[in-house]
Structure 1
Amino acid sequence: MSDTHPLREAVHHRRLSDYLALALMYFAQGLPMGLAFEALPTLIRHSGHGMAQIGWVGLAFLPWALKFLWASHIDNLCRKAGISRVVFVTQALVAIACLGMSTLDFRTDLALILMGVVGLNLICATQDIATNAYAVSRLQGKGAGPANAMQVGGFIMGMLAGGGGLLIVHPYLGWSGLMLVFAVLMLALYLPLWLRRDWRRHQPQTPTAVVKLKDLLQHDDLIFAILIAMSFKLASTAVSTLIKAWLIDRGLDLSTAGALQASNLTFMALGSIVIGIPLVRRCGNRSAVGIAGALAMLFLGVALLLEISGWHELRLYYLLFGLQGLFEGAFYVSVWALLMNWASPERPGTDYTTMQCCESLTNMLGASIVGVLGQHFGYLPTFGGAWIIGILAWVLIVRCLSRIELQGESR
């Protein structure tokens, strides 16, 4: 009995260390996404370029949607070289790219800057595969809830820092200064990982054959996992995309609308930790998805309620959209904890990454068509239709839950 407590302490310390590592890596990966989708459109317009140039920013999303195509190669590389080396190389490549981009002028070199931002997202999307492999291989099981809270919270905070954070300091540093800060920040984020002795050690090789993308077909329940990944965020992405225009049409200025969106993201990160983690631990993967999904879909109707009621109180916006963000964050954590525990430990990066790509592809669909629908039908029918789609998606997810097999289960 005397050896039990030190062993438990060692496991607890290792888990905390793993959670910190995940938070740092996911934060780093959120930075270029925030740069592309939050900061870059504003900077492009501020520099005198037209709306057409802003459309090219969407290319930065492609690596995140298509990374499953090279996920198996990164899985194999992580097994041969070690996850820590793969993460270091990608982090260093981002820093080098930022140093190169710091020499460019936003007014005359926009095409090169856009190519560079796409490159940054390509590198970080590749690093994300290695991070997923790390998370699945070390934290599958009871650690999946906190691990995915670190993913949701870390990535959102990275997006906020890479978007609004960089815009705040841009008037003082300019584009070149921003890229130098970006490079230093990426290297600084790796430092706590490098200081961990267990991180610097060569990662133990996972067993057997070379990983291939087609190995996904070994999952008899693959279609049900894909349906969950593709459906759980479709409606909320559509609503959150349309809300940006809705806020402006309700008379909010850009800074106020931006502050409200930042508040919503912060509440989402908070909900992933304070609601998502306890829910997964106490209720288990499947029940947590069902409960959090029901609450998230209920509050997905906030925009519809505000549109019907005509309420235009800013404090009410903060309260209701904040509550929506809390339960969405909990829902995202519960779904990703479920899919983490579904992923095979023999190909952790490939399985988990493919599910992320399924989510990304439907997010692109939702975000791309909701503006057209809003323009054609108006806010009220579009918000209402998205809410109905969200409820139907939740019903579909609940039906799929009993049909997927998690690691460690036997059927």
Structure 2
Amino acid sequence: MSATSMNLSARAGTWTVLGLLAGLYAAQSVTGSMVQSALPVALRDAGMPLDQIGYLAVLFLPWALKFLWAPLVDRYFTERSWILACQAGVAACFLAAAAFPPQTHLMPLSLVLLVMATLAATQDVATDSLAVRATSEATRGAASGASTAGAYVGFLIGGGLWLMVYSAAGWAVSMVAMAGFIALLSLPVLFSSGLADRRDRETSSVRRVALRSVLSNRMLMKGIVFLLVYQIGIRMGSAMTGPYLVDKGLSLDAIGMVRGAGGAIAGFIAATLGALLVQAIGIKRAVIAAAILNAALLAALASLEAVGSISQTLAAGLLIAQGAAVALSFVALYAAMMNWCNPDQTATDFAALQSLDAVIAIAASAAAGHLGKLFGYGALFSASAAFLLAALLLVSRFLAVPGRAPSQERVLEP
């Protein structure tokens, strides 16, 4: 095969992997965004207090605990098998949830959503493992951008389109529609295979993938310190943006447009630009730029709340911009997290990082609800900006980004 043919094959393989990752992250984002973003809006519209809405974050416990069963993904079956089984389970859960509208059946619905979240979290483990193993250090900025862009497509469906379907046709129809979206987004992985090398199971059984190996990964442990401070600022600043728009007087349809179409399109564009930014200036500088942008937007929201002069249009515009800044930060940060993982246990290492992120999201959401109720949205946005500024002080010491080792790089598998 000529060098030209090999290059064309490698490029085709690259686009295949990036497209598949975008679809998989879109599928898992449908579930997460509906529970995290759209459901709180519907409940706030029905009159539920902010502090009670904040506790809905407990449904993200499976994402916080998935590191416990992540070693199973490293040791048994293939990522593709795990993904397909979990996707089918999530679609079935959406169909079951159709019988439990939240206003009257919140407890049984919560149980169904908890099962759904466990399946989605397991799919996340397998997808993250595939993303790390099917890419090289040189291509992970692009992979992170494709994954984040796909997640915003899922956000458009689960966080925006769902609200409009729910508002127009009711709970049951909206749940059946979500099941259909999950089935549709599962088709690419059904017809794809060979995207990453097979693991050496004999080596894995001797070395035994274990959680204690995570603690011996010094690069990962340093990164966790930065991740903790940085993501508190991001997660707390984003937790109550839906209820914030409700309290500004926007209708469900308007919020669906702002957070769905507006937020998802802005996030998709920001994720694409974020991938280019990471490739152009590197992971560390991209993370710094994203932190500064997020802090500036949150500080602007806090300032406008303090003087009481913010209009519905301005609030919606700033939140769309802030959502785009969050997308940019995820691209840069997740590219760094991929590089922290041990190639021998990618599922376990990345799951540990994302479990910590989920714990932060749960705690930050609960804290944001109480902070917003006690002191107002201005104090909430100010505290979030302060955490992001504090994270900037930790960059040089704790944001570990390895140097490239060309001899160890591998191209994306076709």
Into which bin does the TM-score normalised by the smaller protein fall? 0.7 to 0.9
Question: 1:67 deviation in Å?
Answer: 1.0
Equivalent position of 2:411 in the other structure: none
CA–CA distance in 1 between the matches of 2:99 and 2:250? 36
Whole-angstrom CA distance in 2 between matches of 1:32 and 1:82? 23
| Higher alpha-carbon deviation: 94-103 or 68-77 | 94-103
Closer, same or farther: CA 324–58 of 1 in aligned 2, 3 Å:
closer
Q: What is the aligned partner in structure 1 of residue 146 from structure 2?
A: 150
Q: Which amino acid aligns with 1:391?
A: L
Moved more, 174-183 or 58-67: 174-183
Question: Matches of residues 105-184 of structure 1 in structure 2 within 5 Å?
Answer: 109-170=105-166, 173-184=169-180
Matched residue of 1:198: which SS? coil
TM-score with structure 1 length normalisation? 0.86
For residues 8-407 of structure 1, the aligned pairs below 5 Å read: 8-41=7-40, 57-77=56-76, 81-102=77-98, 109-170=105-166, 173-198=169-194, 204-206=198-200, 207-208=203-204, 209-262=207-260, 263-274=262-273, 276-401=274-399, 403=400, 405=402
CA deviation digits over 1:261-316, x for unaligned, max 9? 33345323321112x11111112222322333333333332212322454434443
Work out the CA distance in 1 between the residues paired with 2:258 and 2:368. 20
Relative distance call for 1:172 and 1:228 in structure 2 (3 A) is same
Rate the CA distance shift 1:76–1:395 in 2: closer, same or farther, 3 A: same
Q: Distance in 2 between matches of 1:50 and 1:386?
A: 21
Deviations 1:360-398 (A, max 9, x none): 222222221233233333444443333222201122134
- TM-score normalised by length of structure 2: 0.85
Aligned with 2:72: secondary structure? helix
SS in structure 2 of the partner of residue 235 of structure 1: helix
Pick closer, same or farther for the CA change 1:123–1:76 going to 2, 3 Å: same
Give the counterpart letter for 2:157 in structure 1.
A
What SS does structure 1 have at the residue aligned with 2:209?
Answer: coil
The answer to whether the Cα contact below 8 Å between 1:235 and 1:389 also exists between their aligned partners in 2 is yes
Contact map agreement 1:341 1:406 (CA 8 A) in 2: no
Residue 2 (structure 2) aligns with: 3
CA pair 5-121 structure 1, distance change in 2 beyond 3 A: same
- Larger deviation: 104-113 or 344-353? 104-113
AA at the equivalent of 1:383? F
Q: 1:51 to 1:295 in 2, by over 3 A?
A: closer
Report the Cα offset of residue 346 of structure 1: 0.7
Higher alpha-carbon deviation: 166-175 or 110-119: 166-175
CA contact (8 A) 2:220 2:341 kept: no
Higher relative contact order (CA 8 A, sep 6+): 2
CA spacing shift, 1:49–1:271, aligned 2, 3 Å: closer
CA contact (8 A) 1:56 1:114 kept: no
- 1:33 to partner: Cα distance: 1.5
Q: 1:369 to 1:180 in 2, by over 3 A?
A: closer
Contact residue 148 and residue 327 of structure 2 kept, 8 A: yes
Alpha-carbon distance between aligned partners in 2 of 1:221 and 1:350, rounded to the nearest angstrom: 15
Structure 1 residues 52 and 113, CA gap change in structure 2 (3 angstroms): farther
Conserved 8 A contact 1:23-1:150: yes
Cα distance in 1, alignment partners of residues 312 and 183 from structure 2: 39
In 1: Cα distance, 2:100 partner to 2:259 partner: 30
Which amino acid letter does the alignment assign opposite residue 107 of structure 2?
A
Give the CA RMSD over aligned residues. 3.1
Alpha carbons of structure 1 residues 142 and 295: separation in structure 2 relative to 1, 3 Å: same
Q: What is the rounded CA distance, in whole Å, between the counterparts of 1:219 and 1:61 in structure 2?
A: 26
* Deviation string, structure 1 residues 14-61 (Cα, Å, up to 9, x no partner): 111111111111111112212323344456678899999867643321
Q: In structure 1, list runs of 5 or more residues that go unmatched.
A: none
Q: Distance in 1 between matches of 2:154 and 2:187?
A: 17
Tell me, in whole angstroms, the C-alpha distance in 2 between the residues paired with 1:376 and 1:174: 33
- Alpha-carbon contact 2:290-2:328 (below 8 Å) kept: yes
